[in-house]
Amino acid sequence: MSALIDLTAFGEVIGHGFNRVYGWHFLYVSPMRRKALEKFKSFPEDLKELRVSEKRVRAATTLSGFDDALTAPLHGFRDNEDYWTRASSTELLRDIRVPWSFLLVTALYFVPSYALIAGLMIAIGSAMTEVRQGQQIAGVFNLLIFIPYFFLIMFINSPNSPLAVILTLFPATSFTTITLRWGLTTIPTWHSYAASQIPRCTDPLMGNPRPL
């Protein structure tokens, strides 16, 4: 499984221009090629059954040639094109389905949370007299949004734990926490309602900040 890239297009681009430097590094500098050749000496009979040729591996001067000579047959693929097509995770994107209920929940909690964070940023910007000082304070508030990710393992083990409930009800972390918990458990109705209303209640409390 690879990253979300078109491996076929990547294989074509990596063999042209300055991109070939990466291929040369992979083949001649990294230990991958050397270790592959060492395997020929340790398991010569097994590699013959897998249609792997030491001569072809040694002769490969590009990534596509190396994959065609070793990687593809070693893992049961017909050739490098078959390997790039079937191993690319972009093929799985067609099967991804996002429930409409999740999109609705995301929109429902994102808007008030976004309004709250935007209000905080405006307040900081109008209160600070120096850009650097404002950026430092804004960074602290931005960190609040990502706090739930630090407790992701805890949410997976216990999505209705007291900490999860607290972060659900805290305005700055409610959006992130709700979206994380939504796929793990059935969230009590009062959690959902409170999480959607608390940010709306805190927006007017921002007031008119005075410059420092």
Residue pLDDT, tens place only, 190-208: 887 887 777 666 655 554 4
Q: Report which of 13, 10, 2 is spatially closest to residue 92, judged by C-alpha positions.
A: 2
Task: Quote the pLDDT of residue 208.
Answer: 44
Domain boundaries defined on the chain: 7-94, 100-206
pTM value?
0.44
HSE-CB at 165 with a 13 A cutoff on CA atoms is 8
Residue pLDDT, tens place only, 22-60: 878 877 777 777 888 887 777 777 666 767 777 888 888
Q: Report which of 92, 86, 99, 118 is spatially closest to residue 199, judged by C-alpha positions.
A: 118
